[in-house]
């Protein structure tokens, strides 16, 4: 065989080896990138659902605070013009402070008696919304969340209902409602996704989507029965509710009428069960994002492989693997950082009370309302006695149980509208609004009585005792929350000193 032929065969073998190596390299890298893309899509879906859940939770706390004020309940009981005027101011304050669409009150029959949009052409006053689930749930004593198209306004919104109580603490006399614009939620869907992100109801109706033309369409093919149920709810207007053309192939795959394939990523809302964030991950767009940078460099890679064959393949594959490891580490660090941020809540994990951050957030809000309405308030600052002794003699588990028991006693002592918090360690605080004329002795006597009942109730743990300090807030001579806490803390330690000297 001639040398030229041998060299030609060797060149062809080198070229085929380079092409095979390049094809193997590309296939492995593409598979890895697709896996990473799906993991990233899962994380995106989880984060979007988590932020929506967080937003819903904050609004639920706000409507609870509004319902806890005395004026709304009195309006429904007494139907006094003076109370109605004060209640309208409260509704205006909440709407303006939190930039809500509207805040309103309904009586036990579902008639709107007060509303922050009372002076607008589309006023809710006099309208009856008894058919709405948020009203029906609240009248059963349950806080409610409801996403729907407004009957009066014709605009999408999220409705939060909370029961209003009068003289009977367990029989609602009406419902306090806030309607929140979906602008905040919609911003989560206005990002650059490799596909379509949507928020859908249990029947598959799309309430929010990154595709505007999909609004109020049904994501999955609906039956006649499903369409009938959607119509009966009156939740999304009068229709029609057209089908998007998306069909499922399996639990993770879907295809549209044009044969475009999607990977389904799904996360249910914790605060709104059976509502889901659905991310249809477009295979074409994912492949395009992956192939574009790959094809840009693969030509040079293949030329290099044709020259140095296996050495270049090994070098490039090693380099790509290293890059993937770095990327996975960065993604892991990002996930850990996000988990740490999620752990920063306003609730104390041990007792279930508000923590220090939550106390300041809620109490500052109530203090502003009290100042505006010229209402007095009290702050009780309490310290669990001998916690260190309990930990040393009975163990830290007994100490934790003592903190939990004190938290339960505080819950049973004070009103649902009062703000109760564990400030840290063995210290607790209670902020009571609208206690004009009450004295510290009266406020504390109920607490000490409940502690005595606990200690004489045959409990197996050590007896509990606390030291308290009370500070009053005068609307005629207001002070800051920090100053109020400092004063109550000082009174508490004086109380503790006197007990030790006795």
pLDDT in tens, the chain (502 residues): 555 577 567 767 866 776 776 667 667 766 777 778 888 888 999 999 999 999 899 999 999 999 989 888 888 888 788 889 999 999 999 999 999 999 999 999 999 999 999 999 989 999 999 999 999 999 999 999 999 998 888 889 999 999 999 877 888 999 999 999 998 888 888 887 888 999 999 999 999 999 899 999 999 999 999 999 888 888 888 888 899 999 988 878 999 988 888 999 999 998 888 899 999 988 777 667 666 665 555 556 656 665 676 565 455 445 545 554 665 676 676 566 555 544 457 999 999 999 999 999 999 999 998 888 888 888 999 999 989 898 999 899 999 999 999 999 999 998 888 999 999 999 999 998 876 556 767 778 889 999 999 998 877 778 899 999 999 888 888 899 999 999 999 998 888 888 777 6
Q: What is the distance between the alpha carbons of residues 495 and 501, in angstroms, rounded to a whole number?
A: 10
Strand order in the sheet with 276-282: 206-209, 195-200, 276-282, 261-268, 253-255, 243-248, 218-220
For 274: left if phi > 0, alpha if psi spans -120 to 50, otherwise beta; the answer is left
Q: What are phi and psi of 251, to 5 degrees?
A: -65, -20
Q: What is the distance between the alpha carbons of residues 396 and 391, in angstroms, rounded to a whole number?
A: 5
Q: What is the pLDDT of residue 307?
A: 67
Residue 4 CA neighbour count, 13 Å, CB half: 0
Q: What is the pLDDT of residue 36?
A: 81
Cis peptide before 4 (omega within 30 of 0): no
Q: Are 105 and 87 in contact (CB under 8 A)?
A: yes
Give me the torsion for CA of 143, 149, 150, 155, rounded to 10°: 120
Q: What is the distance between the alpha carbons of residues 163 and 76, in angstroms, rounded to a whole number?
A: 12
How far, CA to CA in Å, does 164 sit from each of 67, 77, 171, 412, 464?
Answer: 6, 10, 9, 20, 35
Q: What is the pLDDT of residue 300?
A: 60
The two beta strands, 377-384 and 427-433, are antiparallel
Closest of 249, 246, 240, 241 to residue 278, by C-alpha: 246
Strand order in the sheet with 377-384: 419-424, 427-433, 377-384, 466-473
Q: What is the pLDDT of residue 502?
A: 63
Q: How far from each other are the two terminal CA atoms of the chain, in whole angstroms?
A: 115
Q: What is the distance between the alpha carbons of residues 157 and 154, in angstroms, rounded to a whole number?
A: 9
Please state the pTM of the whole predicted model: 0.54
Give me the torsion for CA of 48, 49, 53, 54, rounded to 10°: -30
Residues in CB range of 353: below 8 A, 6 or more apart: 347, 407, 410, 411, 420, 421, 422, 428
Q: What is the pLDDT of residue 251?
A: 79
Handedness of CA 179, 181, 182, 188 (dihedral sign): negative
Three-state SS at 166: coil
How far, CA to CA in Å, does 51 sit from each of 72, 284, 355?
Answer: 31, 28, 21
């Amino acid at each position: 065989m001639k040398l030229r032929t041998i060299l030609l065969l060797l060149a062809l073998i080198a070229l085929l080896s380079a092409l095979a190596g390049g094809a193997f390299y590309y296939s492995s890298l593409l598979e890895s990138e697709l896996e990473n893309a799906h993991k990233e899509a899962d994380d995106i879906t989880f984060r979007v659902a988590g932020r929506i859940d967080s937003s819903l939770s904050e609004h639920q706390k706000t409507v609870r605070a509004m319902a806890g004020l005395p004026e709304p309940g009195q309006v429904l009981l007494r139907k006094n013009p003076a109370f109605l005027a004060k209640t309208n101011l409260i509704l205006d304050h909440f709407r303006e402070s939190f930039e809500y669409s509207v805040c309103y009150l309904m009586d036990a029959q579902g008639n709107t008696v007060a509303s922050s949009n009372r002076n607008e052409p589309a006023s809710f006053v006099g309208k009856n919304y008894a058919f709405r689930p948020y009203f029906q749930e609240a009248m059963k004593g349950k806080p409610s969340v409801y996403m729907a198209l407004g009957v009066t306004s014709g605009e999408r919104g999220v409705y939060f209902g909370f029961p209003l109580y009068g003289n009977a603490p367990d029989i609602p006399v009406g419902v306090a409602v806030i309607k929140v614009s979906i602008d905040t939620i919609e911003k989560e869907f206005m990002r650059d996704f490799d596909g379509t992100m949507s928020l859908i109801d249990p029947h598959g109706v799309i309430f929010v989507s990154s595709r505007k033309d999909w609004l109020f369409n049904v994501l999955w093919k609906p039956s006649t029965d499903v369409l009938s149920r959607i119509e009966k709810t009156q939740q999304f207007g009068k229709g029609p509710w057209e089908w998007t053309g998306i069909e499922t192939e399996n639990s993770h795959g879907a295809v549209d009428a044009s044969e475009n394939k999607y990977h389904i990523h799904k996360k249910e809302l914790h605060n709104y069960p059976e509502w889901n964030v659905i991310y249809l991950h477009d295979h074409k767009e994912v492949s395009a994002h992956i192939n574009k940078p790959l094809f840009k460099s693969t030509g040079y890679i293949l030329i290099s492989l044709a020259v140095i064959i296996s050495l270049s393949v090994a070098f490039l594959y090693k380099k790509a693997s290293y890059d993937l490891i770095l990327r996975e580490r960065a993604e892991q660090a990002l996930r850990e950082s996000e988990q740490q941020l999620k752990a920063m809540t306003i609730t104390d994990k041990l007792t279930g009370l508000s923590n220090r951050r939550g106390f300041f957030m809620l109490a500052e809000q109530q203090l502003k309302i009290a100042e505006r309405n010229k209402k007095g308030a009290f702050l009780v600052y309490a310290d669990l006695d001998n916690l260190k002794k309990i930990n040393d003699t009975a163990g830290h588990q007994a100490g934790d149980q003592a903190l939990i028991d004190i938290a339960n006693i505080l819950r049973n002592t004070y009103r649902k509208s009062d703000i109760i918090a564990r400030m840290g360690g063995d210290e607790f605080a209670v902020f009571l609004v609208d206690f004009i004329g009450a004295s510290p002795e009266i406020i504390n006597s109920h607490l000490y009585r409940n502690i005595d009942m606990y200690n004489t109730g045959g409990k197996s743990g050590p007896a509990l005792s606390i030291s308290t300090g009370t500070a009053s807030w005068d609307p005629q001579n207001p002070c800051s929350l920090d100053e109020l806490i400092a004063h109550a803390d000082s009174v508490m330690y004086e109380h503790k000193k006197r007990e030790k000297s006795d």
